[in-house]
Amino acid sequence: MRITEIYQSIQGESSYAGLPCIFVRTTGCDLRCSWCDSEFAFYGGDKFSIPEIIERVKQFPARLVELTGGEPLLQKDIPKLALELLELGYTVMIETGGHRDISVLDSSVIKIMDIKCPASGESDKNLWSNLNYLTKQDEIKFVIANRRDYEWSKEIIHKHKLEGFQLLFSSVYDQLEPKQLVEWILADGLPVRFQLQMHKFIWPSQERGV
Ligand code: SF4
């Protein structure tokens, strides 16, 4: 499969934020979110076999692995890679845009799944049937650019009865003040976890390898 980078850093998002984590970043994405910060992963990359990826992963001491992209579910061997990493005793997470079928993954893989809001320009691509395959260990992420996105996200949570899941709300970097989003959440007492992308504060000028 095509890989952009494999590196160790701290997990910057989700309820696992702050933990040492090995990132396997695949190449390519079939969405073009208006605020995407991973455009460098759209093209290029190098071809790796599953044993080659595992060999690289084993060079780092962390026991948590995140499969990310781009869109990792575009790579047909991702479910197999996830399974082999699980068998080696790793905790395996996947970060997906939410528009590809997650049912191909073993149920032990922790899914961090986006629901794309209107300002992303890709909200018509959300694959709603994926909600049927999420379990309580999985997390749903809304990246919010403005008040319309916020209201839309609230409606989606209510409509699909998502309150029992770990819900993550992030503000789009440079488009919505984190403080503003926090104030909206507090005013509504919304049962969501506000999150900042930790790695962007630790390494503000670095795009790759963090
Ligand atoms: S799904 Fe992720 S990688 Fe793809 S365009 Fe959107 S933000 Fe970028």
Which pLDDT value is given to residue 33?
A: 97
Mean pLDDT of the chain: 96
DSSP category for residue 132: G
What does the alpha-carbon distance between residue 205 and residue 155 come to, in Å, rounded to a whole number? 35
Residue linked to tokens 């590196």: 7
Residue 69 near ligand 1, beta carbon < 6 Å: yes
Residue 98 near ligand 1, beta carbon < 6 Å: no
Residue identifier of the C-alpha nearest atom 8 of ligand 1 = 36
Residue 112 near ligand 1, beta carbon < 6 Å: no
Which pLDDT value is given to residue 172?
A: 95
- What domains can be seen in the chain, in order of their start residue? 2-202 (3.20.20.70)
Residue 31 near ligand 1, beta carbon < 6 Å: yes
> Does residue 207 register a pLDDT over 80?
no
Q: Compute CA distances 135 → 58, 91, 142, whole Å.
A: 28, 16, 17
For 158, the 3-state DSSP assignment is helix
